[in-house]
Structures are given as C-alpha cells and as structure tokens.
C-alpha cells in the first residue's frame, strides 16, 4: 500500500474482496513496485462494468444491469410523452446518454464509494470497506435534494414518524427493489416490490373504530399521503429556467395516473425551454402535466386533515387551483384540479 490510500490493513485479512489482491477488481500490475508502472491499466471504478462484480455475484449483477438505478430509464419515461418521434431521437442522443445517464449508480457507488453528484462525491464510505448498507451516506447523498431531508426533518418540517421510530430507507425499500429482478421496468411505478403503506397497515386493523370508518370512506378516493403527509415538502420551481430555485409547499390534487384519486402532487422541473439548448421544442409539452403524484416522505399519524373534515371539505387548504398553478405550464395541469365536496349536515 502507498501512503494516502485509505485502506484499513485489517480489511486485507477480513474482507473476502481483498483475498485475491487489488488487481482482481482494479487490474493494473501487481508485479511492479513503482507507483506509475503498478497503476498502468488500472481501472478507477471497476464496477462501472458490472461483469467485474458479476464474477462473484452473478445473479445480482445480471439483474442489476436492468434495474432503474443502473439504467435511469425512469427519467426518460417521465419526459418522453412531451416529444415528437424526431425530438425523442434527439433527446436520446444529446441529452439522455450525455446527461441523465450520468446519474446511474454502479455497485461500488452504493457499497464502496459514493457516486459523484454534480461532480462532488462523499468519497469512500468506510475506508474502502465493502458496506452492506449505509443509508445516511449513500441514499442520502443522491436523494438528499428532497427525499432524505424531508424524511429526517432537516428540510424544516417535522421528521417522518417512521424515522422517529428508528427506521431508515431499507426498512421499507428492500434490496430486491434496488438490485432488480431481471425485468427492465420503465418506471418505479411498475416495480412490484416497491413499498406500500398497507403492507404494514392493512385496513381493519386500526385501534379506533372512527379511524376504521374514515379509512373505509376514503378507500380508493384519497391516497395515504393525501391525509398523512405531515408538512410542506420541497417543490422545484424554475429549475431549468436558470434559477434553480426550490420552495416548500404542499399540493393536493388528482393523481395524473388515476384521476379518481386525490393525492399529494409535486411540481417537477420541466418547463417549456428545458431542452431548448439541445434543439428540442417539446411539441407535445401540454400533453402531460407539470405536477405528478409524489410519495411524500414526511408521514405523520395525525395531521390537520386527519383531525377534522373541514380542513379539506371547507377550508380546502393546499389544493391545486388555477390561481396557484405555475405560469405558462402545461394545459394538462388543469385536469388535476380537485374541489372537495361540502359535507352535508
């Protein structure tokens, strides 16, 4: 080992990844003593080629190559409906492969060294130790723009009740969800293993009868987040308009995926000139909304909406309206406006 390389000597004997030496993953020439010659042909990030990990983890690597964390295809799926066929081709060539794909995570980005976000990395997670999980460093670094600080309360709202109970990301998001099951899903909404509130909180198991009644009345009409999102969450405003601004807020409206359901919405950072530098006008910009259903990670058992019916049916606080919509947004935004009915006495 050379000075400056943060590798705990104890790992060389304990961690099976080191038993065959550095060259098993990093290549190079272990027969040379000089640094320059020893590093000839060295691979800086071996797991960028999943076959490196697949030597020992064959099934995991075979599944992961089709996973959303690796392909980032979900980003393409989310925006492609705005493009004409010609624009989609331009997007794939000039934007997706050169920009969106830079966010993909290889095995090492979660288990050894944090992925670079905006050119910045947290570096080695634990002195080159291969870690099974460390949500506070790996998940939080890539998803620290909104999800993780919402969950912990660092964004300014109350911490998620699950975080207060000591739960972290992988208590709900299991490894099968990350590694994939060998199917190339187009978005996270297609993944069967994704978390669902009712997996742990099935209807009919509530301690109070009034809670059971409330859940039955709103079944299929309101998402769990619609009532239990505990505070404002981060929304993206003018991100691609040159300001990169974000602001707190809560937005309630119809789900773009199921117009019968009221849920929490998040303003996504796609404006009309987002891809103008690539020559893409987005001919079908108005076809899909700027607001999408979001699983807000700031859940509370009791909120204003669970305490009293008036919060929604009289005050109608936080509901999307024409007046509160972003200016020059997609026409499809208007389809998400939901006006709660007044309660009959």
Structure confidence at residue 61 (pLDDT) = 96
Q: CA 154, CA 163: separation in Å to the nearest integer?
A: 12
Q: What is the pLDDT of residues 146-158, one digit of tens each?
A: 899 999 999 888 8
Distance set, CA 24 to CA 15, 33, 64 (Å): 13, 17, 21
**Beta-carbon neighbour count of residue 313 at 10 Å?**
13
Q: CA 70, CA 54: separation in Å to the nearest integer?
A: 14
Q: Which span out of 48-52, 108-112, 199-203, 332-336 was modeled with the highest average pLDDT? A: 332-336
**Beta-carbon neighbour count of residue 219 at 10 Å?**
9
Contacts of 102 (CB under 8 A, 6+ apart): none
Distance set, CA 19 to CA 11, 47, 177, 308 (Å): 10, 18, 30, 62
Mean pLDDT lowest for which of 35-44, 111-120, 187-196? Answer: 111-120
Structure confidence at residue 94 (pLDDT) = 93
Mean pLDDT lowest for which of 123-127, 179-183, 187-191, 213-217? Answer: 123-127
**Beta-carbon neighbour count of residue 147 at 10 Å?**
21
Per-residue pLDDT band for 290 (boundaries 50, 70, 90) equals: very high
Mean per-residue pLDDT for 321-343?
93
Structure confidence at residue 5 (pLDDT) = 57
Q: CA 94, CA 83: separation in Å to the nearest integer?
A: 14
Mean per-residue pLDDT for 238-265?
81
Q: At 262, is the secondary structure helix, strand, or coil?
A: strand
Round the average pLDDT of the chain to a whole number and report it: 90
Distance set, CA 237 to CA 35, 98, 250 (Å): 49, 24, 13
Q: What is the pLDDT of residues 79-105, one digit of tens each?
A: 999 999 999 999 999 999 888 888 888
CA torsion sign for 303, 306, 311, 312 is: positive
**115 or 95, higher pLDDT:** 95
Domain ranges in the chain are 1-44, 55-195, 200-345
Q: CA 243, CA 248: separation in Å to the nearest integer?
A: 16
With 0-12 CB in 10 A as exposed, 13-18 as middle and 19+ as buried, what is 211?
middle
Per-residue pLDDT band for 243 (boundaries 50, 70, 90) equals: very low
Structure confidence at residue 20 (pLDDT) = 78
Structure confidence at residue 172 (pLDDT) = 95
Contact (CB, 8 A) for 188 and 194: yes
Contact (CB, 8 A) for 157 and 233: yes
Q: Is the pLDDT of residue 190 over 70?
A: yes
Structure confidence at residue 64 (pLDDT) = 96
Per-residue pLDDT band for 246 (boundaries 50, 70, 90) equals: low
**138 or 244, higher pLDDT:** 138
Contact (CB, 8 A) for 255 and 289: no
Q: CA 171, CA 85: separation in Å to the nearest integer?
A: 41
Q: Is the pLDDT of residue 336 over 60?
A: yes
């Amino acid at each position: 080992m050379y000075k400056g390389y943060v590798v705990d000597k104890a790992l060389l004997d304990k961690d099976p990844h080191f038993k065959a030496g550095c060259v098993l993953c990093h290549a190079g020439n272990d027969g040379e003593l000089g640094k320059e010659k020893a590093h000839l042909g060295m691979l800086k990030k071996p797991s960028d080629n999943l076959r490196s990990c697949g030597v020992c983890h064959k099934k995991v690597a075979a599944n992961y190559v089709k996973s959303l964390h690796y392909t980032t295809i979900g980003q393409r799926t989310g925006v492609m409906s705005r493009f004409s066929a010609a624009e989609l081709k331009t997007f794939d060539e000039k934007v997706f492969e050169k920009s969106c794909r830079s966010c993909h995570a290889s095995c090492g980005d979660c288990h050894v060294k944090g992925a670079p976000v905006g050119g910045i990395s947290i570096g080695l997670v634990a002195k080159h130790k291969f870690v099974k999980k460390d949500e506070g460093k790996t998940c939080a670094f890539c998803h620290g723009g909104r999800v993780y600080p919402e969950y912990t309360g660092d964004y300014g709202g109350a911490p998620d009740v699950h975080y207060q109970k000591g739960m972290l990301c992988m208590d709900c998001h299991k490894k099968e969800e990350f590694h994939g099951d060998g199917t190339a899903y187009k978005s996270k909404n297609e993944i069967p293993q994704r978390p669902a509130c009712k997996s742990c909180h099935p209807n009919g198991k509530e301690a109070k009868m009034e809670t059971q009644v409330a859940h039955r009345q709103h079944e299929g009409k309101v998402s769990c987040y619609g009532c239990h999102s505990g505070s404002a969450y981060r929304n993206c405003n003018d991100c691609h308009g040159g300001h990169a601004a974000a602001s707190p807020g809560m937005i309630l409206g119809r789900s773009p995926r199921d117009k019968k359901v009221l849920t929490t919405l998040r303003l996504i950072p796609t404006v009309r000139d987002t891809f103008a530098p690539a020559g893409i006008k987005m001919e079908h910009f108005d076809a899909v909304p700027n607001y999408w259903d979001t699983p807000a990670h700031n859940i509370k058992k009791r909120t204003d909406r669970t305490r009293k019916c008036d919060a929604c049916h009289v005050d109608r606080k936080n509901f999307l309206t024409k007046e509160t919509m972003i200016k020059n947004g997609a026409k499809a935004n208007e389809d998400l406006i939901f006006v709660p009915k007044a309660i009959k006495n």
